[in-house]
Structure 1
Amino acid sequence: DTHDLLLDSFRHATKSVLGRTIADERLMAKVGQPLSVQMWDFTDDEAVHDELLRVYRAFNESAHDERISLFPGTREALESLCDAGFSLGVATSKMHPLAQRGLEVLGIAEFFDCIVGADDCVRHKPDPEPVILGARLLGVEARRCAFVGDSPFDIQAGNAAGMHTAAVLWGMFDEDVLRAETPGVVCGRFDDLAAHLIARRAC
């Protein structure tokens, strides 16, 4: 769970660099895309854009380890999936080193066989490149993968890659926003997600 950290990072950067307060809804509207893409929503000046990135990242990374946490049921669901023979990977819009650090801080890095970060790709979600690369690194055909996400950009990317998609409701987007992207399933709890994926694999 990084919601509060992300929001406070956006608030700090935009207030410090732009000198004004921007509505939280606008700050968080494109979470799930690379940060460099999101910052263009607040300026069309390259120097200002780069300063927003710098200030955001400095604040975010200084508070990161103390302000991230696991959603309820995360570890148990990951254990269930690994016990059932799943290979797991992460395709994120975070930079690869920060994503790796987050998994290690939370004590769940052991469950994942690969990470695809924003710095590993040319194109980013909603383009399918990151998830297709993740499948390749896992050694699994994309059509045999499931992609789990909490943003519309996740579901768009997974659908475009030909994967089964699962939208989860413990993220930052409302259920109707996620359902509009036609995921294969919508799950409200981690144990429901694990049970669905295990049952689907057995079919």
Structure 2
Amino acid sequence: MPILDTVLFDNDGTLVDTYDLILESFHHAVRNVLGHDIADEKLMAKVGQPLSTQMWDFTDDPAVHEELLLTYREFNHRIHDERVSLFPGVREGLERLREEGFKMGVVTSKMSPLARRGLEVLEVAEFFDCLVGADSCPKHKPDSDPILMGCGLLGATPESCIYVGDSPYDLQASNAAGTLSVAALWGMFDEDALCAENPCLACSDFPGLVDGILALREGCR
């Protein structure tokens, strides 16, 4: 089996805590465009897929769909910098993985400029040698193509790569790509939903994730 030398991460809910930012932005958009509110659970049900895909759950009118997107993005971008934060242990974990020689990148369903902005604001962009966003690839998670693109950009084979994510769509994409899938249990989806996708590893926090990744690599030697 190839030696594991590459880690690709989802962004929101895995590296960066944006739960409140996303939920607040959804509420703002649906209240202002649709004139009524929608329950949190429905608003957050498809987080992990591109925002455009998620908005079709709230309307089948193309014009309303576009207005929802514009309203969400204007509000989200305006409050973004003060609402984003790293999950505990992320910076230290990334430093440890870099010291251990891992190549690292981000594969997200977020548009790449805003994903990159968040990583820069939180001062961790330096750890990543590629970023694949919703605007980088014609297909999106749960399709395997974004993860395979990330592997290609880092010169890695899927068999030598781990993908870490907090949504079922992340794990489905990773399994389809042939990378080792790891569930981030600290994110936006519950443990049962993630473990149903049969990840090779499920971790409750970022320090435990790093320990698990190093153990997986040791087991492949």
TM-score range normalised by the length of the shorter chain: over 0.9
Structure 1 gaps, min length 5: none
Aligned match of 2:213: 197
1:156 equivalent to 2:172? Answer yes
Aligned match of 2:92: 76
Percent of pairs with identical residues? 62
Task: Quote the Cα distance in structure 2 between the aligned partners of 1:143 and 1:48.
Answer: 43
User: Retained in 2: the 8 A contact 1:150–1:170?
Assistant: yes
User: Retained in 2: the 8 A contact 1:143–1:161?
Assistant: no
Task: Quote the Cα distance in structure 2 between the aligned partners of 1:69 and 1:194.
Answer: 19
Task: Quote the Cα distance in structure 2 between the aligned partners of 1:170 and 1:200.
Answer: 20
- What letter matches 1:197 in structure 2? I
Structure 2 gaps, min length 5: 1-16
Instruction: Tell me how far 1:202 sits from its aligned partner.
Output: 2.4
Name which of 7, 22, 35 aligns with 1:19.
35
Instruction: Tell me how far 1:169 sits from its aligned partner.
Output: 1.0
Name which of 187, 190, 194 aligns with 2:203.
187
Task: Quote the Cα distance in structure 1 between the aligned partners of 2:87 and 2:132.
Answer: 21
Larger RCO (CA under 8 A, 6+ residues apart)? 2
After superposition, the C-alpha distances for 1:114-141 in whole angstroms (9 at most, x for unaligned) are 0000000111000011000000000000
Indicate the SS of the match to 2:110.
coil
Task: Quote the Cα distance in structure 1 between the aligned partners of 2:57 and 2:159.
Answer: 34
Aligned match of 1:32: 48
1:122 equivalent to 2:156? Answer no
Aligned match of 1:93: 109
Name which of 92, 100, 105 aligns with 2:121.
105
Task: Quote the Cα distance in structure 1 between the aligned partners of 2:55 and 2:37.
Answer: 14
Aligned match of 2:157: 141
- What letter matches 2:124 in structure 1? I
- What letter matches 1:15 in structure 2? R
- What letter matches 2:131 in structure 1? I
Task: Quote the Cα distance in structure 2 between the aligned partners of 1:43 and 1:140.
Answer: 40
After superposition, the C-alpha distances for 1:53-76 in whole angstroms (9 at most, x for unaligned) are 000000000000000001110111
Aligned match of 1:173: 189
Give the TM-score normalised by structure 2.
0.91
Question: Which is richer in helix?
Answer: 1
User: Any runs of at least 4 consecutive aligned residues in structure 1 with deviations exceeding 2 A, and if so which?
Assistant: none
Alignment coverage as a number of residue pairs: 203
Task: Quote the Cα distance in structure 1 between the aligned partners of 2:218 and 2:99.
Answer: 14
Indicate the SS of the match to 1:183.
coil
